[in-house]
Amino acid sequence: AMNPAALKANIESLPKGATVIVNVDAFEERNLNKAGYEANPLSDGSLSAYTVYEVPMTSITTEVSKEAGVKPRDAERSKNFFALGLISWLYTRPIEATAEWIEQKYAGKPLVMEANLRALKAGFHFGETAELFESAYQVKPAVLEPGEYVNVTGNTATAWGLIAAASLSGLPLFLGTYPITPASDILHELSKHKQFGVRTFQAEDEISGIGAALGAAFGGALGVTTTSGPGIDLKSETMGLAVSLELPLLIIDIQRGGPSTGLPTKTEQADLLHAMYGRHGESPLPIVAAKTPSHCFEAAVEAVRLAVKYRTPVILLSDGYLANGTEPWRLPDLDDLPAIDPAFATEANHVEADGTEVFWPYIRDDQTLARPWAPPGVPGLEHRIGGLEKADGSGNVAYDGPNHERMTRLRAAKIAGIAHDIPPTEVDDEDGAEVLVIGWGSTYGAIAAGVQRARARGYRVAQAHLVHLNPFPADLGDVLARYRRVLVPEVNLGQLSRLLRAEYLVDTISFTQVQGIPFRAAAMEAAILQQIDGTAESHSREVASADPTGKGIL
């Protein structure tokens, strides 16, 4: 727990990505200057390499001590126990032991003991009450390629990715969102960078957030909305409208433990099927998933590329583990980023029977099947669009069945066609492997670790990690067919596994764990070995859920 002086003194010695708990109360001008800071390090971004928790320790602990009736001077001391309580929460350690220790240690000074105990609990509860996110992500910096590095959290990388995509496309960035853990930090980060022309709109709710983003998209901006958990449910209807309007829109879901409010401060991967099917009617859209904190940058850019090129809402899946975790990131060469061309409509695209030239908003590009994007402002391109079914081409309201069927299949075909515009499945395979471990999202590190361990024992195991979840890469079916066993580890009850089974009729083996944390390498290794030794023939083809009541997993 640091004040400015301490921070100044120790920050250099801290490994990048370390967790820093800061006593904000101590960060007034005076102390800052004393410590030799010009700008406030909490806001000038110089701590972006660390997971910083800002906590009003002094105020809270003085409160506590007051209640316990000890002298202000002693209060100072309690601060450390507050910090200890907070850390216990962050790393989900029980505080009972510590409490006992305090009771013995301060048996002589009941008041101080009381104050310290209260401070300990206050710290622990603060983590819960203020929804501080637990257990941040740490990849042991393996051998790093040469280059310039920075430590980023997934949420920061996502925010930066959006800013980069906006500048690549020349589109003004508009974020319409409503705060929710663990997505809020993207709003916080973006709202700092107005010099990029970024507009952040804190809406009255999630529906308004995505609605405003869609309105901005209609106006020719890069419309983005961010949320988590219950918030994504509320966006379903407007996503459906965006599918029907065929406008670019980015929906970012930072998954957390569900269902309902669930475990707001723990991670999970259980929104995949919701992202696929969570809208009424046939309402397909592309899904992209980030796999590491720094990969959030690239994933955000890719999601924007697809949204703009195909005039479609895109869902980007991240999760609490990526969002709050940090890792060293080798800064990309901006020239390597894909070009993103809004290609706004500029002129009439259809000739009426009587020869007059008109603009039809639903004439498609033969190749991408995308429709023209014609923001207001251009004379002659005036047009009306809406959520009712539209006539193929003219875009006028159309009620006839055959047109509806054609439009329904066209919307589906447009999204399916993206399969040919994304890279083939990347498989890490020392040839001859019989088992493929395939995952998506934040389990990347854990799966890699498990695969390495298995290989270290001399087993041949292949790994693939999907970034595009809808559509799948064109070659995925063939890839899966090459292996005798396909193991699918997920922090849910087997959602990707279901998609693969339905799509490719492959008898995948679903390895699931739903404990608010990623897999441990050991567990992953065990699951892999079990496949190789062929000991997994449970009817359900599911590992770790043999006992239907789930009691077994304890």
Ligand X SMILES: Cc1ncc(C[n+]2csc(CCOP(=O)(O)OP(=O)(O)O)c2C)c(N)n1
Site for a second copy in 166-185 (CB under 8 A): none
At closest approach, how far in Å is the CB of 497 from a second copy? 8
> Does 63 help bind other proteins (rule: CB under 8 A)?
yes
Among positions 23, 51, 155, 200, the unique one binding other proteins when judged by CB under 8 A: 200
Site for ligand X in 231-260 (CB under 6 A): 231, 234
Apex 171 CA angle, 166 and 175, nearest 5: 65
Nearer to other proteins, 207 or 526 (CB): 207
Cβ of 321: how many Cβ atoms within 10 Å? 32
Return the one option of other proteins, ligand X, ligand SF4, none that residue 376 interacts with (CB less than 5 to 8 A, by type). other proteins
- At a CB cut-off of 8 Å and minimum separation 6, what does 159 contact? 185, 186, 189, 190, 193
> Does 186 help bind ligand X (rule: CB under 6 A)?
no
Among positions 37, 50, 53, 178, the unique one binding ligand X when judged by CB under 6 A: 178
* Dist. CA 25–CA 176, nearest whole Å: 31
* Three-state secondary structure call for residue 84: helix
Q: Using CB under 6 A as the criterion, what x/- string covers residues 116-135 for binding ligand SF4?
A: -------------xx-----
Among positions 122, 157, 180, 532, the unique one binding ligand X when judged by CB under 6 A: 180
Cβ of 67: how many Cβ atoms within 10 Å? 12
Q: How many residues bind other proteins (CB under 8 A)?
A: 107
> Does 58 help bind other proteins (rule: CB under 8 A)?
no
Backbone angles phi, psi at 425, to 5 degrees: -60, 130
Radius of gyration of the chain from its Cα atoms, rounded to whole angstroms: 26
* Dist. CA 184–CA 294, nearest whole Å: 18
> Does 223 help bind ligand X (rule: CB under 6 A)?
no
At closest approach, how far in Å is the CB of 229 from a second copy? 6
Backbone angles phi, psi at 544, to 5 degrees: 70, 15
Taking Cα atoms as reference points, which of 79, 85, 102, 118 lies closest to residue 1?
79
Return the one option of ligand SF4, ligand X, a second copy, none that residue 180 interacts with (CB less than 5 to 8 A, by type). ligand X
At closest approach, how far in Å is the CB of 81 from other proteins? 13
Among positions 501, 523, 529, 536, the unique one binding a second copy when judged by CB under 8 A: 501
Site for ligand X in 468-507 (CB under 6 A): none
At closest approach, how far in Å is the CB of 129 from ligand SF4? 5
Nearer to a second copy, 231 or 372 (CB): 231
DSSP letter assigned to residue 257: B
> Does 389 help bind a second copy (rule: CB under 8 A)?
yes
At closest approach, how far in Å is the CB of 130 from ligand SF4? 6
Nearer to other proteins, 145 or 366 (CB): 145
> Does 180 help bind other proteins (rule: CB under 8 A)?
yes
> Does 278 help bind ligand X (rule: CB under 6 A)?
no
Cβ of 175: how many Cβ atoms within 10 Å? 27
* Dist. CA 270–CA 481, nearest whole Å: 26
**Which segment (105-113, 117-125, 414-422, 449-457) binds other proteins by CB under 8 A?**
117-125
> Does 59 help bind ligand SF4 (rule: CB under 6 A)?
no
Element at 59 (helix H, strand E): helix 57-68
Nearer to other proteins, 11 or 523 (CB): 11
Nearer to ligand SF4, 63 or 428 (CB): 63
Q: Using CB under 8 A as the criterion, what x/- string covers residues 386-405 for binding other proteins?
A: xxx-------xx--------
- At a CB cut-off of 8 Å and minimum separation 6, what does 102 contact? 81, 113, 116, 117, 120
Nearer to a second copy, 176 or 328 (CB): 176
**Which segment (105-113, 174-182, 294-302, 427-435) binds ligand X by CB under 6 A?**
174-182
Which two tokens mark 45? 């971004």
Q: How many residues bind a second copy (CB under 8 A)?
A: 81
> Does 396 help bind a second copy (rule: CB under 8 A)?
no
Return the one option of a second copy, ligand SF4, other proteins, none that residue 458 interacts with (CB less than 5 to 8 A, by type). none
Q: Which amino acid is at 81?
A: F
Q: Using CB under 8 A as the criterion, what x/- string covers residues 465-494 for binding other proteins?
A: ------------------------------
Nearer to ligand X, 172 or 230 (CB): 230
Element at 175 (helix H, strand E): strand 173-177
* Dist. CA 209–CA 215, nearest whole Å: 10
* Dist. CA 65–CA 73, nearest whole Å: 10
Element at 169 (helix H, strand E): helix 154-169
At closest approach, how far in Å is the CB of 428 from ligand X? 38
For the chain, the residue count is 554
Nearer to ligand SF4, 30 or 188 (CB): 188
Which two tokens mark 415? 């999204």
> Does 151 help bind other proteins (rule: CB under 8 A)?
yes
Which two tokens mark 240? 């459906």
Edge to edge, the sheet with strand 287-289 lists 199-202, 173-177, 222-227, 249-255, 313-319, 287-289, 468-470
Apex 532 CA angle, 527 and 537, nearest 5: 75
- At a CB cut-off of 8 Å and minimum separation 6, what does 198 contact? 163, 166, 172, 173, 174, 175, 190, 191
Nearer to ligand X, 111 or 234 (CB): 234
Q: How many residues bind ligand X (CB under 6 A)?
A: 8
Chain residues in the site for ligand X (CB under 6 A): 178-180, 206, 230-231, 234, 261
